[in-house]
Amino acid sequence: MSDKQHSLVLDTYYNQDKEALLFLLRRFISPSVPSIPLEAIFEIIEDSDDIDYHSICLEIVFMHKEKYADSLFSKLHSTRSQNIISFICGAIGVEPSVRELIHLIPLFFNDIEFRPIIRDTVFHDKKTLLLSLAYFVEDHPVSKEQEQLVIELLKTIPRDVFLSTKGSLSTLKLYDYYYQIPPQERHPKDTD
């Protein structure tokens, strides 16, 4: 994004010309747009609680999240802003990939403040969550507290989703965690 376009978006925002800003932002929704004003979007999200701004900014970031994944993850790990973290989780949570969840799981484990945001907006795709957890527990040392969180997350995964990975994940540490859960505490039913 050129500095000129970035400045134009922020100038329009700070001039409080809502219609002009929404018109300007709509141009960035198309996936064919070469770049988006990501830092300007973050500034608007942090500064405003206008639902129209948040909606269009969320749509823009969702449409470009693969292209800007590294920037999103960098921002996610560098900010303490609940607005920004909620916004990024919202963009990722629409159709989370394993790669995206692999970046969110350490934040989930290490920052109690953001656990509800991440759990509520991103962890709804149980198969992706399961695969991401498998990568996490294989690649990171897991503390006792994190082990309990892994087990709590495994309890939310339907039995058929877990068993569908039997051949590919059965030798991984995740299976050990799953079988530590008493059968009556595991997810009680299959997905239908």
pLDDT digits (tens, 9 = 90+) for 62-83: 999 999 999 999 998 899 898 9
pLDDT of residue 14: 95
108 with 137: CB under 8 angstroms? no
CB 54 within 8 A of CB 48: yes
pLDDT of residue 74: 93
Question: Residue 44: its pLDDT value, please?
Answer: 97
Query: What tokens appear for 102 in the block?
Result: 């692999």
Biggest alpha carbon–alpha carbon distance for the chain:
60
Establish how many alpha carbons lie within 13 A of residue 36's alpha carbon, considering only the half-sphere containing its beta carbon: 28
Determine the pLDDT at residue 170.
61
* pLDDT computed for residue 171 by the predictor: 65
- Whole-number Cα distances in Å, 57 to 7, 25, 113, 114: 16, 8, 24, 21
Ranges of the chain whose pLDDT falls below 70? 1-2, 167, 169-171, 189-192
Candidates 73, 50, 79; CA nearest to 61 is 73
- For the record, the structure tokens of 183 come out as 């059968």
